[in-house]
Amino acid sequence: MSRRNRLAGLAVGLAAIALSLGLTGCGAATPPAAIAVDDGTVIVDVRTPAEYASGHLQGAVNLDFPSGSFEEAVADLDAKADYVVYCQSGNRSAKAVSVMEAADLAVQDAGGIDDAAAATGLPVVR
């Protein structure tokens, strides 16, 4: 077997492993098909203020995850509320959800903004 064939076989094998483990993208796992949102649900956009200003889910509050003060903001959140978190692609939301879960908050990851809009039924406002 030539070196080229071995490398091609290795690449195919690694791709198969990545697909089976869900490692195909940099975002969060696929969000649920529908996320129930009621008056007690707090929608949290963890993108930067500039990203938030360019368009966010209706009613969302902005808690800037990359700012370095996210953990402090989480400490001030209402422990009795339910939270739905999203970002641009799902990467930051997954990290933010981990921080919020560590603070014993009821939180659900909605992934990226497009997935979050689809799952919650909330429009993107500018």
pLDDT tens profile 26-76: 444 555 579 999 999 999 999 999 999 999 999 999 999 999 999 999 999
Whether residue 126 has pLDDT greater than 50: yes
Q: Whole-model pTM?
A: 0.75
**Strand arrangement of the beta sheet that strand 41-45 belongs to:** 61-62, 41-45, 82-87, 106-112
